[in-house]
Structure 1
Amino acid sequence: MEAAYVDKHYNLVVECKQGSKKACYELYRLYSKAMLNVAFRIVGNVGEAEDILQEAFTDAFNRLKDFRQETTFGLWLKQIVVHRSINLLRKRKLEFVKVEDGHLDNVADEEPWDDDDVQYQVAQIKDAMKLLPEGYRVVLSLYLLEGYDHEEIGQVLNISENTSRTQFLRAKRKLSEILTSRGVIR
C-alpha cells in the first residue's frame, strides 16, 4: 500500500470491512457531524441533511468492500454526501440560470470581490447564504467551503464550467448585496 494514501482511521475501516459494528459506529461518530454540515450547506434544510447523512453512511457501509483506500475514508464519504445532496436538489427540480452567449465576458469585467478588505463574522455570512437562491448557494458552497473547482462542480451538477463560474460570480455579488443591506459590510 505504498502508493495509496494511508488514512489515519485505516484500522477502523479494516475492522468495519471485517464486520465490526463497533468500528462502524466509531467511524460514524468521527465523521457524522462534519458530513451533516456538508449536506446542510448544500441543501439548506436540517431534516433533509440528516436524511442524506443516514443514506450516505448506509451507502458507504454497504459499499465498503469497494473502498480501496486510495484516498481517505472521510474524503470518500464526503463525495457520497455531496452526490446525495446534489441528487436531492435535482429531485427538487433545481434550475440553474442559463448562461447566455457572451454573458461571461460581461461578468468578468465586473469589479472583483475583495475578501482582504472585508471582515466578516461567520454566523452573519451563514445567515446571509441561507437567503441565496439554491443554485447560487450550492455552487458557492461547493467552491468556497468544499474546495471543488468549477470543472468538478460542472461535472457534479451536470452544468457547464462557464455556468458554474457565472453562478459563483452571481452568488458572490448577491451575497455582498445581502451583507451590505444588513450593514455587515459598507
Structure 2
Amino acid sequence: MEAVYVDKHYHLVVECKQGSKKACYELYRLYAKAMLNVAFRVVGNIGEAEDILQESFTDAFNKLKDFRQETTFGLWLKQIVVHRSINLLRKRKLEFVEIEDGQLDNVPDEEPWDDEDVQYQVAQVKEAMKELPEGYRLVISLYLLEGYDHEEIGEILNITENTSRTQFLRAKRKLSEILLRKGIRK
C-alpha cells in the first residue's frame, strides 16, 4: 500500500485533479515565485527561468493525475522545475569533465566555510555566483541552495558522485576568489 502525504495544499491538488481552474490558479499563485527562484538559480537567466516556470506548471498540471501525494506538491513541482532547468543547460551543451579516481587523491575533502572569519551577505554571494562557470554554478546551487546531496546531483546531471564533489569544491574555491576580488571577504 502506497503512503499518501497530506500537505496543507492537499485540497487544492484534489480540486485541480477534478478540473477546477480556480484551484490550479491558486496553486500557481502559491508556488510561482519560489519555483521561478529555483529555475533562476540553476540557469542564471530570468527570461529562461520564466519560460521554465511556465513549462513546468504546464507539465505539472498535465501530469497531475499521476501525482500520488507520496510527497508534497511543492517538492514534486520543484523536481519538475529542476529537471527542466537542467535539460535547458544540457541543450546549451554543458559539459562536465569526468574525474578519474586517481585524480582525486590531491583534492581535499569538503572544506567547511570558516564562519568566524568570513561573513557573507546572501545577496552579495548570489551576485558573485553569477560569475561562476555554468557547471560550477549548477552544482553549487543544487547543493547549497536546493539541498541535494552529491549522490542526487550525480543522478540528476548524469555524472559521478565524485565529479559532483569535485565541481562543488572547485566552485567554492572560485566563489571565494570572486568574493575576495570584490573585497567582500574579510
| 1:12-61 CA distance string (max 9 Å, x none) | 00000000000000000000000000000000000000000000000000
Alignment of 1:97-176 (within 5 A): 97-108=97-108, 112-176=112-176
Q: Number of paired residues?
A: 186
Change beyond 3 A, Cα 1:74–1:111: closer
Contact 2:2–2:70, Cα closer than 8 Å, also in 1: no
Per-residue deviation at 1:99? Answer: 1.6
| TM-score when normalising by structure 2 | 0.95
Alignment of 1:1-186 (within 5 A): 3-108=3-108, 112-186=112-186
State how far apart, in whole Å, the 1-side matches of 2:134 and 2:95 are: 9
SS in 1 for 2:98: coil
Identity of aligned residues (%): 86
State how far apart, in whole Å, the 2-side matches of 1:86 and 1:125 are: 22
Per-residue deviation at 1:111? Answer: 5.7
State how far apart, in whole Å, the 2-side matches of 1:83 and 1:110 are: 26
| TM-score when normalising by structure 1 | 0.95
Gapped runs of 5+ residues in structure 1? none
State how far apart, in whole Å, the 1-side matches of 2:59 and 2:116 are: 41
Give the aligned CA root-mean-square deviation in angstroms. 1.7
User: After TM superposition, what 4+ stretches of structure 1 lie above 6 angstroms from structure 2?
Assistant: none
Per-residue deviation at 1:117? Answer: 3.3
SS in 2 for 1:7: coil
State how far apart, in whole Å, the 1-side matches of 2:74 and 2:111 are: 37
SS in 1 for 2:94: coil
Per-residue deviation at 1:112? Answer: 4.6
Gapped runs of 5+ residues in structure 2? none
